[in-house]
A and B are shown apart, each in its own frame.
Chain A
């Protein structure tokens, strides 16, 4: 093999005093990193194949394995980091675009971590959620301008279709194809038990999962894979995906090797053919075209489903959102630049888009200034990592959040960021049957339910601490937030005061 200049970034460190050569690691590693050497009766590891997914570490019965940084360094250079140098070597060798998975890992500010939450003292009692009702239910959708009454003066329910959620969280779009059948089943069942929604992503909806329709958002993306009338009518809402936080401005590409069996059927494309989602929708070249698609979908579903328009957080997100709010959409989903992906060009993932906290704050303000905030609900995603991030998002003005990376972590994902290889050892981002079966939906869904219930408890505690007993009274309640470590401009965009003010 030709010299590729690359030294593995991580290595599997084996404690040979503990290793019993049971070969579990060898069987678990789909990348073939571990190998048993018969003549020496010992396990060896090719670190260049290791993606640091921790499958072997987690399953080693004697805890003989751990992954450590290899420690190999180039001559120190603050301008040319080791990562940058390695990427140049890789591109010089392949001539290709670098691919990455999951969210932007680079060192940009995480605004959530510079925002602090308020609590009541003396003048206003905090509320104990164990003693008093504490409401986390939200309703997403457009609000009409006028109240109508019948001849007896009773209010007529003129609300457009709404999404009712037990808590302000939904599982965001991950297609069947990019993640496995078992991962989808886990998400769907968890959504059902939790009284929230999951999102099909752009790969259509497997026929086994139509029964979870009351907890499903069906997505229509630029590839229009798996879109047909029954599909559109099967869920509670339809999401038009314009963009994704991890890769704003570009489309998607699911390689033909993954278009097998049920995936081919569900996507309605031949087996082995590449599924290419174009960068734009070719019937949407401007905002007036979006309006037409929104209403085409509403016509197709008899105006019974709210339509979500999902965009990536880009520089003029607030103005774009304002256009969407006037386009007939009921809900706007904004995906921040930290949002995950099954595969994206590295340069795009790491350099395009803006933080969700700023995008949300600007959009909420803009829609209020224009007096059209009631036209739409706002859902934000792109790295919501905890219940505290949810509280902060809602206080900045979101109606609800989308989570995906957090949900995958609950299912066992270790953020090795190698989804694009298709050999996910945890059975999530793969279609290889023997890997897929490693994810047991009975356990997977339960872990998702646990995670959300834990977050719900934490949300209630934080709300109670603020003296609030309904999440609705937190929406846009920016006085409940303070910044720490932010400059004047950042505070202004976020619309919050500095701690101590």
Chain B
């Protein structure tokens, strides 16, 4: 049976999706848009990993208060991901270090990976989508 047939009869192909988040939250729309796509993907029962590297880890900061800049505070949505069965959240240790941050500064529980571990995780994905 081809992949297309399987999709059409709904037997469900599950692929490993990695969403790679590398942008700070408010300076561009990437972080918010990425979050929307992750939630859509989860609705199709896919194997989703969310990875935060570089400035992307800033998306997970505790204590965000967006009243002053009058934009939506979507940081709480990361805490709701668990409810959509998105529980694989990974953060790059080197990116934390370069920003003077630790796991304790983040709004959700994450798995902190070394560069090698992160690289291996990326290689084993079927699809990598970057925001």
A in complex with B: no
